[in-house]
């Protein structure tokens, strides 16, 4: 989050993206908790991906990482481009 090519990603922007709650991928087998990839647009429509895990038992969301998706790897920043 600190070394992003398009500028540092601040915590409030991660929260803003998570509130958009558009889950584009699910990783149900991740341990210790299942995780998801969330897509959101923040800060002048900047696209952002946030990977977070969720513990239903503890009612806790854990941010794993946040990054600006590469347009060469994503279609509309929501679907992976397969080579």
List the chain domain ranges. 11-74
Encode 12-51: b = buried (16+ Cβ within 10 Å), e = exposed: ebbebbbeeeeebeeeeeeeebebbbbbbebeeeebbbbb
Mean pLDDT of 10-38: 90
Q: What percent of the chain has pLDDT over 70?
A: 90
Token representation of residue 69: 């998706």
Return the H-helix or E-strand segment holding 78. none
Q: Which residues contact 16 (CB under 8 A, 6 or more apart)?
A: 40, 42
* pLDDT tens-place string over residues 27-52: 999 999 999 999 998 877 789 999 99
């Amino acid at each position: 989050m600190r070394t992003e090519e398009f500028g540092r990603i601040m915590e409030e922007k991660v929260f803003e993206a998570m509130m958009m709650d558009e889950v584009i991928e699910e990783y149900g087998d991740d341990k210790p908790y299942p995780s998801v990839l969330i897509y959101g647009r923040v800060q002048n429509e900047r696209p952002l991906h946030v990977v977070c895990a969720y513990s239903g038992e503890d009612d806790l969301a854990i941010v794993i990482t946040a990054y600006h998706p590469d347009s060469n790897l994503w279609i509309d920043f929501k679907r992976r481009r397969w080579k």
